[in-house]
Amino acid sequence: MKKFMEEFKTFALKGNVVDMAIGVIIGGAFTSIVNSLVNDIFTPLIGVITGGWDFSNMVITVGTANVMVGSFINAVISFLIVALCLFSLVKAMNKLIKKKEAEPAPAPAPSEDVVLLTEIRDLLKNK
């Protein structure tokens, strides 16, 4: 049992698991921001453009069931916005990574011995 707990501790504290947990938490917070953006900004604007439609209250009644079409449309818009944001973020990150890889490493500065020998050589050449 002790070995199992040590293996679990090693797994749980690995960088990948911790990074993933942070990503999930930030994703949850980001989702609430996107939902507010869709419900409070985009949906009313789309309603104005479409002549006053309010997707959030759009319901189709089939028999005794209410099909919440407006909620579904809001969810699709939220998904598209999240996907667009993530695509833009990944694209920017890839661009930064490629830029770092493309830059050649600066040449190391010559040592003091090499600088001194170069100065001596130049002095001898000028005589």
What would the pLDDT profile of 39-48 be if each residue is shown by its tens digit? 788 777 877 8
**Rounded Cα gap, residues 68 and 109, in angstroms:** 68
Right CATH number for 2-126 from 3.40.50.620, 3.40.50.2000, 1.10.1200.120, 1.20.1560.10?
1.10.1200.120
| E strand spans, the chain | 60-62, 65-67
**Cα 14 to Cα 57: distance, rounded to the nearest angstrom:** 46
pLDDT confidence band for 54 (50 / 70 / 90): low
Give CA 72 to chain center in angstroms. Answer: 25
* pLDDT tier at 101, thresholds 50, 70, 90: low
The pLDDT score that the predictor gives to residue 53 is 65
Calculate the average pLDDT of the chain: 80
What are the extents of the domains in the chain?
2-126
Does the pTM surpass 0.85? The reply is: no
Handedness of CA 103, 104, 105, 108 (dihedral sign): negative
For helices 69-102 and 15-37, the axis angle rounded to 10 degrees is: 130
- pLDDT tens for residues 62-95? 889 989 888 888 788 778 877 887 788 788 888 8
Q: Which residue has the higher pLDDT, 28 or 86?
A: 28
pLDDT at res. 82: 75
